[in-house]
A and B are shown apart, each in its own frame.
Chain A
């Protein structure tokens, strides 16, 4: 493993204080991202994907949030030990983020050019003129036609796809080493989705940045990711390269996820679903968190929590009976 590790998260625990008690949203997540690598973080709503990203960026307000981690190493430095001011220098400059809702992620009363230039002026110390020129440049780079004119427009004058392009322009203007994309295409329609993903992939190739892609869409994962981490109920349950996830998934939850994608080739009456719902963070089962919904669960699953273990070739799986190994269920 001589990968050049850019981000290394070890034992991240994030939770929120609430009047009803402490809500553990993320419990013991560890992962790393190499330079230039695309990692997808997959899971259904409420499993802790976004909270993981926000914890890395330290964008959660503390309290009510509580972030604990053994370390969050970025480029060899532990972000957990950074002061608020130092963290601000990282945000938007070295680690950037794009959000799900392009319609509301831009400030409605500032020109888009200003919004791009602002980040350049703060992080790269450009003067007004240079920053503005660079903003035009960035708009051209993200494929916005007529950038000299567009730079003077307000967000409401752009369509959703265009706004997401502007968001990408802002996020990438300072040439970050890591881009965290939190469901960047969920709010867009399918044709625009494809364009935006293509754009991110192109820019990634050009700049050599790493990508942490948060999504629940397996199609996007197949298209974009080198490696996939599947999250369930605040934990990573499976982590491996993208081919293995699709060809040889080991965790019953991943299998369920993949089976619930309708296929274009087969005619089926009903969609496959995973029965039940994600347990509330306040009432996680004692054993395996997926056990109540797992078709293969037995007494051991209900009693003992499995650990995330290597089942070969760096394929990590949190299951007592990973598929294709002894005791694994047959489908």
Chain B
């Protein structure tokens, strides 16, 4: 069979094609190989990985229970400096600061990740529908997005806090997610608007594929690049949001620690014990940066058109 086809094509295309040929590799291996070359992203991944492992192993690692008071060690109500029995010192109630950083990270990371998942779960399907079908569906979905964009999240959370008295951390996650899907939805929709007129989508339709298949198998993966970036940023955003809320005393409630809440508690001792603010602040900063770098690296790695190696 080869003989027939080759003799039919007198001009050798082998030569030209040798130039393009490359190793056969699976998609994820290729992504990983590209990702590896992104130094900052790898650094971000390592830092984030370590953070996650340490934070979620808090019950094992932490030297004290997070709510255990050692009032006798802080007789004057002045937090202890780092060193000695308490690696990072204590807060004004004598609770081990290192322990609280670990547990706080657990809360902060969970809030960031879960709220992002919620935002993606709502935003992606709605964005697909709005972008692919257009018309009335698009109209309705975009108005809903605008509605959510109009309602300011912060005052709403303040109100909720007043109404609910002591909102659970899950409610905080849900609210951050529910108010965060608009950006995802709009981004997905914008991608669909450009992609659905591309010839490969037309070709998929011409091959008799169902809408569902065209949307999720052919268009959506092409639209994911910006979504992944938004998602990583949104995890960082969720962490910052939770921190702000906790800082205002609306997020996580005592005695459960979170980085934001610890920042708030530490501010009264800013002059004498600056580390109480700096450590949670640096942790928030580092995690946000790590996530942003990972998002950057993923964007470059996930796009097979990107031939930069």
Given contacts A59-B205, A92-B208, contact A195 B9 (CB under 8 A): yes
Contact between A106 and B205, CB atoms less than 8 A apart = no
Contact between B1 and A92, CB atoms less than 8 A apart = no
Name the contact of B199 in the complex, choosing from A57, A92, A101, A162 (C-beta under 8 A): A101
Name the contact of A105 in the complex, choosing from B14, B24, B199 (C-beta under 8 A): B199
User: A162 CA to B81 CA in the complex, in Å?
Assistant: 69
Residues 132-179 (chain B) with a chain A CB within 8 angstroms: none
B13 partner residues in chain A, CB cutoff 8 A? 143, 145, 159, 161-162, 195
User: A157 CA to B27 CA in the complex, in Å?
Assistant: 13
Nearest-CB distance from A1 to chain B (Å)?
A: 30
Contact between A198 and B5, CB atoms less than 8 A apart = no
Q: Mark B105-142, 1 if CB is under 8 A from A, else 0.
A: 00000000000000000000000000000000000000
B20 partner residues in chain A, CB cutoff 8 A? 157-159
Residues 54-110 (chain A) with a chain B CB within 8 angstroms: 57, 59, 87-93, 96-97, 99-101, 104-110
Interface centre among B16, B209, B210, B307 (most CB of A within 10 A): B209
Name the contact of A156 in the complex, choosing from B9, B11, B304 (C-beta under 8 A): B304
B32 partner residues in chain A, CB cutoff 8 A? none
Contact between B16 and A88, CB atoms less than 8 A apart = no
Whether, in the assembled complex, B222 has its beta carbon less than 8 Å from a beta carbon of chain A, the answer is yes
Q: Mark A192-203, 1 if CB is under 8 A from B, else 0.
A: 000100110010
User: A200 CA to B228 CA in the complex, in Å?
Assistant: 41
Name the contact of B1 in the complex, choosing from A101, A141, A156, A162 (C-beta under 8 A): A141
Chain A residue nearest to B206 in the complex (CB): A97
Nearest-CB distance from B284 to chain A (Å)?
A: 35
Nearest-CB distance from B128 to chain A (Å)?
A: 16
B33 partner residues in chain A, CB cutoff 8 A? none
Contact between B208 and A89, CB atoms less than 8 A apart = yes
Name the contact of B16 in the complex, choosing from A93, A107, A123, A159 (C-beta under 8 A): A159
Given contacts A107-B222, A109-B221, contact A145 B14 (CB under 8 A): yes
Given contacts A57-B206, A107-B222, A159-B16, contact A143 B304 (CB under 8 A): no
A106 partner residues in chain B, CB cutoff 8 A? 200, 203
Given contacts A152-B24, A156-B305, A162-B13, contact A167 B208 (CB under 8 A): no
Whether, in the assembled complex, B218 has its beta carbon less than 8 Å from a beta carbon of chain A, the answer is yes
Given contacts A104-B198, A108-B304, A156-B304, contact A149 B21 (CB under 8 A): yes
B307 partner residues in chain A, CB cutoff 8 A? 156
User: A99 CA to B303 CA in the complex, in Å?
Assistant: 24
Whether, in the assembled complex, B309 has its beta carbon less than 8 Å from a beta carbon of chain A, the answer is no
Nearest-CB distance from A110 to chain B (Å)?
A: 8
Given contacts A107-B200, A122-B208, A162-B13, contact A143 B305 (CB under 8 A): no
B72 partner residues in chain A, CB cutoff 8 A? none
Whether, in the assembled complex, A254 has its beta carbon less than 8 Å from a beta carbon of chain B, the answer is no
Name the contact of B17 in the complex, choosing from A87, A142, A162 (C-beta under 8 A): A162
A108 partner residues in chain B, CB cutoff 8 A? 200, 222, 304-305
Whether, in the assembled complex, A170 has its beta carbon less than 8 Å from a beta carbon of chain B, the answer is yes
Whether, in the assembled complex, A27 has its beta carbon less than 8 Å from a beta carbon of chain B, the answer is no
User: A146 CA to B20 CA in the complex, in Å?
Assistant: 13
Contact between B305 and A88, CB atoms less than 8 A apart = no
Contact between A198 and B9, CB atoms less than 8 A apart = yes
B202 partner residues in chain A, CB cutoff 8 A? 59, 99, 105
Nearest-CB distance from B33 to chain A (Å)?
A: 14
User: A48 CA to B13 CA in the complex, in Å?
Assistant: 35
Q: Mark A127-163, 1 if CB is under 8 A from B, else 0.
A: 0000000000000111101100100111011110110
Contact between B198 and A91, CB atoms less than 8 A apart = no
A157 partner residues in chain B, CB cutoff 8 A? 20-22
User: A64 CA to B210 CA in the complex, in Å?
Assistant: 21
Chain A residue nearest to B22 in the complex (CB): A157
Chain A residue nearest to B7 in the complex (CB): A143
Residues 225-270 (chain A) with a chain B CB within 8 angstroms: none
User: A113 CA to B307 CA in the complex, in Å?
Assistant: 20
Residues 26-55 (chain B) with a chain A CB within 8 angstroms: 27
B1 partner residues in chain A, CB cutoff 8 A? 140-141
A93 partner residues in chain B, CB cutoff 8 A? 208
Contact between A91 and B206, CB atoms less than 8 A apart = yes
Whether, in the assembled complex, B207 has its beta carbon less than 8 Å from a beta carbon of chain A, the answer is yes
Whether, in the assembled complex, A191 has its beta carbon less than 8 Å from a beta carbon of chain B, the answer is yes
Nearest-CB distance from B30 to chain A (Å)?
A: 9
Whether, in the assembled complex, A52 has its beta carbon less than 8 Å from a beta carbon of chain B, the answer is no
User: A202 CA to B209 CA in the complex, in Å?
Assistant: 27
Contact between A96 and B206, CB atoms less than 8 A apart = yes
Chain A residue nearest to B15 in the complex (CB): A145
A162 partner residues in chain B, CB cutoff 8 A? 13, 17
Given A110-B217, A122-B213, 18 other A-B residues pairs in contact with their CB atoms under 8 A:
A57-B206, A59-B202, A88-B210, A99-B203, A99-B206, A104-B200, A105-B199, A107-B200, A108-B200, A108-B304, A109-B303, A118-B209, A122-B207, A156-B304, A159-B16, A159-B20, A198-B9, A199-B9
**Which 4 A-B pairs rank lowest in CB-CB distance, beginning with the nearest?**
A92-B207, A91-B208, A92-B208, A88-B208
Provide a sorted-by-A list of 25 A–B residue pairs whose CB atoms are within 8 angstroms. A59-B202, A91-B205, A92-B207, A93-B208, A100-B199, A101-B199, A104-B199, A105-B202, A106-B200, A107-B200, A107-B204, A108-B222, A108-B304, A109-B303, A109-B304, A110-B218, A140-B5, A149-B21, A153-B22, A157-B22, A159-B17, A159-B20, A162-B13, A170-B207, A199-B9
Q: A-side interface residues toward B, CB under 8 Å?
A: 57, 59, 87-93, 96-97, 99-101, 104-111, 118-119, 122-123, 140-143, 145-146, 149, 152-154, 156-159, 161-162, 167, 170-171, 191, 195, 198-199, 202
